[in-house]
Amino acid sequence: MQPDSSSAFDSPAAPTGSGLRAFREAALLLILALAALLVLDGLVFRIGPYKKLLEPDSTAGQFELVLRREQEAQREYGDNLVATFGDSRMSYYPREAAKVEPQTGYYLRQAGLAGTNARVWYYMLRDLDPTASRYRAIVLAVNDFDDEDQAYQDADDLRVVHYAAAHLRLSDIPELVLSFPSWTSRWEALRSALLKGYAYQADIQEFLDNPPKRRAYVQLANGGYPHWTWDFVDSTKTLEGLAIDWSTFKVTFPPNATPDQIDTITNFLARRPAPQTGTMAAFRRHWMGKIIDRYRNSRTKVIFIRLPRGAVVRPDNLVKKQSATIRDFARLPNVLLANEHAFEELEHPELFKDGLHMNDKGNTRFSVLLSQEVARLLGPPAPNWQALPDHPRDK
């Protein structure tokens, strides 16, 4: 008898023909199941009716309401229309801006949303202005013309997959996913952009809890949202009494400061400097650059404004900023840079309700100053300009 020469280190036997066939069949079934899931998801959520049933107060629902409101405004306003974009700090009143339209010749419309950034603005603009020709200008509001990295970066913000969920195309997925810096964020973005049902899962659960209630609220919001947002009046709270010792970052809060005021002052206005890595500059070059590229051969100008910096202004020497992407953009022929001192008269505690946002009085004055600065940059309106005799808000 020959000795057994096999050992524990021998390679496993090659799969038999039946084993390979079973593996291929399982792989084919998996591929077919994934394809069916994608088709079903697409039929229900991508091209189906669900986006008309989104919770109006959700991020995706707010995106849809603003998009629909501004698409309707395009049909009601004249040719000299300006769309503005920003987060919740871009809190002017379009109704107050409209009051100076007879002098400026331009109507300003708010197309931004709280909690958004240039990545969301790009997807909003793509569907709001598909021909890149409807507006005389697009205004992008930023905190600073220079690039300052902060502890939380726009590049990491996954809310875009919820805000723009109904408008992300399959062709968007590679660029969108790779625009996130971490693999964890990329995986989350991939799942949400590929499968709309995944992005909508919380919304779907709430809808299924009470479908008639959701339908009734959607109908109410669709009819009332333009009027509600036009007539909105912000808080009259102030930050009078606020002081910050920048050598120690010690904050003297206003008397009877609310938790929200304390939080926004601490985490935004009096924040400690973060390491400067160039992440903000890269994000701006990518997403603001894409917006500028859309209007490169258009009559539409892209205007950058620096928002009022706060109730107390942070010293410039707190951070050594390494780049100024927006100032670089200003060299392009279709880009205009607002006077960065245009809104400094608003940088006082009595005009802010918290560490981030202006109050009613601040917003009212900002509305007029913003309209005047946009008109100064654009020059006289088109020759066929004619002020609208009646504002269309009540239609």
Residue 64 contacts residue 51 (beta carbons within 8 Å) = yes
Strand segments (E) across 101-209: 107-110, 137-142
169/19 Cα distance (integer angstroms): 39
Q: 81-85 and 137-142: which strand pairing?
A: parallel
pLDDT tens figures, 270-325:
999 999 999 999 999 999 999 999 999 999 999 999 999 999 999 989 999 999 99
What are the structural domain ranges in the chain?
Answer: 19-48, 49-381
pLDDT tens figures, 172-207:
999 999 999 999 999 999 999 988 878 888 999 999
Q: What pLDDT is attached to residue 201?
A: 87
Residue 189 contacts residue 163 (beta carbons within 8 Å) = no
Give the dihedral sign, CA 145/147/151/152: positive
In this structure, how many other beta carbons lie within 10 angstroms of the beta carbon of residue 83? 26
Q: What pLDDT is attached to residue 387?
A: 47
Q: 332 pLDDT exceeds 60?
A: yes
380/375 Cα distance (integer angstroms): 7
Q: What pLDDT is attached to residue 16?
A: 60
Q: 161 pLDDT exceeds 50?
A: yes
**Mean pLDDT of the chain, nearest integer:** 89
Encode 285-318: b = buried (16+ Cβ within 10 Å), e = exposed: bbbbbbbbebbeebebbbbbbbbbbbbbebeeee
Mean pLDDT score, 102-127: 96
Q: 101 pLDDT exceeds 60?
A: yes
Give the dihedral sign, CA 46/119/60/64: negative
Confidence bin at 390 (pLDDT 50/70/90): very low
Look at the chain and count its residues. 395
Q: What pLDDT is attached to residue 197?
A: 78
pLDDT tens figures, 8-31:
445 555 556 677 777 776 776 667
pTM, entire model: 0.87
340: phi then psi, degrees, rounded to nearest 5: -70, -5
Hey, what are 286's tokens? 């990518």
Reported as type and span, the H/E element at residue 63 is helix 59-76
Q: What pLDDT is attached to residue 51?
A: 84
Hey, what are 213's tokens? 């209630």
Encode 363-395: b = buried (16+ Cβ within 10 Å), e = exposed: bbbbbbbbbbbbbebbeebeeeeeeeeebeeee
Confidence bin at 388 (pLDDT 50/70/90): very low
Q: What pLDDT is attached to residue 381?
A: 87
pLDDT tens figures, 136-148:
999 999 999 999 9
Residue 146 contacts residue 137 (beta carbons within 8 Å) = no
Q: 243-245 and 250-252: which strand pairing?
A: antiparallel
